[in-house]
Amino acid sequence: MRMSRLFAPTLREVPAEAEVISHQYLLRAGYIRKTAAGIYSYLPLGWRVLRKIEQVVREEMDRAGGQEVLLPALQPAEIWQESGRWDVYGKELFRLKDRHERDFCLGPTHEEIITDLVRREISSYRDLPKRLYQIQTKARDEIRPRLGLIRCREFIMKDLYSFDRDQAGLEESYQAMYRAYERIFRRLGLRFKVVEADTGAIGGKDSHEFMVLADTGEGVIVYCEACDYAANVERAAAGEVASDFQEPAEEMQAVPTPGRHSVEEVTAYLGVTAKRLVKTLIYRAVYRDREEPVAVLVRGDRDVNETKLKNALDALFVELADAGLVERVTGAPVGFAGPVGLRGVRILADLEVPRVVNAVVGGNKADLHLVNVNYGRDYQAEAVLDLRNAAAGDPCPRCGAPLKLTRGIEVGHIFKLGTKYSEALGATYLGEDGQEHYIVMGSYGIGIPRTMAAAVEQNHDADGIIWPFPIAPYHVIIVPVNYDVPEQQDLAESLYRELTAAGVETIIDDRDERAGVKFKDADLMGFPLRITVGPRALKEGKVELRRRADGSVLLLERAEVVARVKSEIAAGYPEVEDENTGADVGVR
C-alpha cells in the first residue's frame, strides 16, 4: 500500500470528544470516525486490525471445536418474551416494530436465537455436544456511550454457544473455551488477567472475564499475589477485617449536627474516623412485579456493591433512592438516615457493621445524629451479608493475604448458563435412558473493537500507538526522506517490492511531505518497524531500521534488510503452544 493512496485522514489536534488514549489515537491516526454517539465507521487501517483479531479468534474457536454460523441481527420479540428477558434486559434493548406492528429488537446477544435454532434441530443425545459461534454486529442502547470503542451502542462481537448433555459436558466445553481465550489474548500480544465475574443480564451460574490490564480501564480487578484469586470488583468477596473496636458499649445519645450531611462533614464535626460511622443508604429495588425501598448499612469508609445487593435481593435492578423516597422512608432529608427506630423497610447490613462498637448513625431527623449506637442492642438487620466493595489490603477470601487492586478492560466473558435458556425455551433432547432432558448451555463472548481499543490503551506512548505485531495493520513502513530524490526513490521502491514479494505487510510513504511529517504519522499510526531511506545512510549503502516499541535503530546493509525484517516480525509473534499437538499456534 502507498501512503499517497491510503484513506487514513490524520488529525493533529486531540478531538474534544475523546476521553481516553485509545479514542484519541484511533481518531487522530485515521482508524475510525464517529457516525453518532457510540457508533463508528472503521477506515481501512482500523478494518485491517479488526480482521486480524477476528482471524485469531476464528482459528482458536475452530481449534476448540467451534463451528461458525451467522444469526440474524433482527430478532422477534416472541423469543425474548418466551425466555423472560424482553422486560429484564431493560432500556439497553433496541426495540422496534415492523409495518405490521410486530415487535422486534436488534440483538445485543444471541442466546434466544441460537437456543431456538437448536431446539428445532437437535433431538437426541447423539446430536450433542455442539459448539456454534458467529462474529457479528450487536446493538445495545447504552445510557451514556463513552470511551470510544470501549463502550459503544453498535459493536462487533464473537459469541459462541455450547450445547451439552449434562453438567460434566458443560464443564468440558467451558474449560475448552477458557483455554482458547487464553491462547487468543496471548497470540494478540496482550497482557491480561482472568477474573471471576458476575453473570449479569446473561444469567447462569459461573462466569469469568478476560481483562486486558490498562491504567485507563473502567473495570477494577481485585487480586491476590499469594494465590491465584482474582475477581472483578462486582464479584470479589470482601473478607472480614479484624475489628478496630475494643472498648465497651456506652449509652446511646442524640447529638445535633447542623448542616452536616456527608461522611466527611459528620466525622470531622464529631471528631471520629469514618470507620466509626455506619452509613444508612436507601435504595429502590425493582422486581418483575413490584418495587420496594431497602435500607443498606455499610461502614462509613466503605462503598455499597450494588451488584451484590441486587443479587441478594434477587431484584431486576437497584438504584439509590431519590430525595423524596428517602424522606418518606426515614422522615429525614438525605444525609440523616439511620437504622435506629427505622420501620416499614427492609434493613440489610454488611458483614462489618455488627462489629462497629459505639457507632455514629443518622438520627432520622434533620440535623441530628446518634452516637454510641450498637448492633443488637439499638438496632438489627434482616440479614447480615457481604454487601460492600472489596478494597486494597482486605484479606483474600482464599488465603488471607492482602488483596491488591488494578484496572483493566473487559475484552472477553464466558458463562456457564446451565439450563436457564433451554428450560425457558423448551430445548430438550432424548437421552440414552429414553427420557427427555434439558440441554446444558454455555455462552462465550469477545468484543472485537473493544479488543482493538484495549490493545491501544496498553500499547502507546506520547507519539502514538505501538501495535503488537500480530494485530498491526502493516508491519513495516518505508519512509524515503525525500521521495523526489531518484536514489532514495529507487531504493525505497525496490525494498517495497522485495518485502511485499516476501509476504511482508508493507506500506511506503511516497507522499510529497517533509520527513518530519512522515515520521510523526508513522509513529502516530503505530507501525512496528520503520525503514528510513536517507542521504547519510545511502552514502554507505545502508538504511535505518527503527523499532517502534523502544525506538532503537539498526543500520542495515541493503542486502540484509529483507531477512532482518522477517526475523523481527517472527520474534514479535508470541509463542503459544497448541495443547493437543504441541505446535506453536502463534507463529505467523
Q: Three-state DSSP class for 442?
A: strand
Question: For 60-72, b where at least 16 C-beta lie within 10 A, e where not — what string?
Answer: bbebbbbeeeebe
C-alpha–C-alpha distance, residues 569 and 256, integer Å: 71
| 19, 147 Cβ separation under 8 angstroms | yes
Q: What is the pLDDT of residue 588?
A: 57
- ∠542-548-188 over CA atoms, to 5°? 125
- The CA–CA distances, whole Å, from 507 to 6, 374, 473, 484, 501 equal 9, 71, 10, 17, 13
Element (H, E) at 302: none
| DSSP-assigned letter for residue 248 | P
Q: Which of 68, 249, 33, 230 is nearest to 159 (CA)?
A: 68
Q: Three-state DSSP class for 220?
A: strand
| 195, 230 Cβ separation under 8 angstroms | yes
Query: Given 1.25.40.80, 3.40.50.300, 3.90.78.10, 3.90.960.10, which CATH number is that of 253-385?
Result: 3.90.960.10
Q: What is the pLDDT of residue 242?
A: 65
The residues spanned by each domain of the chain are 47-72+107-236+405-457, 253-385, 474-571
The Cβ-side half-sphere exposure at 99, using a 13 Å CA radius, reads 0
pLDDT tens-digit profile, the chain (588 residues): 999 999 999 999 998 889 899 999 999 999 999 999 999 999 999 999 999 999 999 999 999 999 999 999 999 999 999 999 998 888 899 999 999 999 999 999 999 999 999 999 999 999 999 999 999 999 999 888 889 999 999 999 999 999 999 999 999 999 999 999 999 999 999 999 999 886 555 555 678 999 999 988 888 999 999 988 988 888 888 866 666 777 899 999 999 999 999 999 999 999 999 999 999 999 999 998 899 999 999 999 999 999 999 999 999 889 999 999 999 999 999 999 999 999 989 999 999 999 999 999 999 999 999 999 999 999 999 999 999 999 999 999 888 899 999 999 999 999 999 999 999 999 999 999 999 999 999 999 999 999 999 999 999 999 999 999 999 999 999 999 999 889 999 999 999 999 999 999 999 999 999 999 999 999 999 999 999 999 877 788 889 999 999 999 999 999 999 999 999 999 999 988 777 776 777 655
What CATH superfamily classification does 474-571 receive? Anticodon-binding domain (3.40.50.800)
Crossing angle of the two packed helices 21-28 and 448-458, in degrees rounded to 10: 100
Q: What is the pLDDT of residue 238?
A: 81
Q: What is the pLDDT of residue 206?
A: 79
Q: What is the pLDDT of residue 337?
A: 96
Q: Three-state DSSP class for 171?
A: helix
| 1, 507 Cβ separation under 8 angstroms | yes
Q: What is the pLDDT of residue 201?
A: 53
For the domain spanning 47-72+107-236+405-457, the CATH number is 3.30.930.10
C-alpha–C-alpha distance, residues 14 and 23, integer Å: 10
Q: What is the pLDDT of residue 586?
A: 67
| Residue found under cell 485509545 | 22
| 507, 476 Cβ separation under 8 angstroms | yes
Q: Number of helices and strands (H, E) in the chain? A: 15, 31
Q: What is the pLDDT of residue 246?
A: 78
Cis ω for the linkage preceding 129 (within 30 of 0): yes
- ∠324-330-333 over CA atoms, to 5°? 55
C-alpha–C-alpha distance, residues 415 and 417, integer Å: 6
C-alpha–C-alpha distance, residues 158 and 180, integer Å: 13
Q: What is the pLDDT of residue 29?
A: 97
Residue 526 φ/ψ region, left for φ over 0, alpha for ψ in the -120 to 50 degree band, beta for the rest: left
Q: Which of 221, 191, 218 is nearest to 208 (CA)?
A: 221
- Main-chain dihedrals φ then ψ at residue 331, nearest 5 degrees: 80, 5
Q: What is the pLDDT of residue 131?
A: 98
Q: Considering the entire predicted model, what is its pTM?
A: 0.87
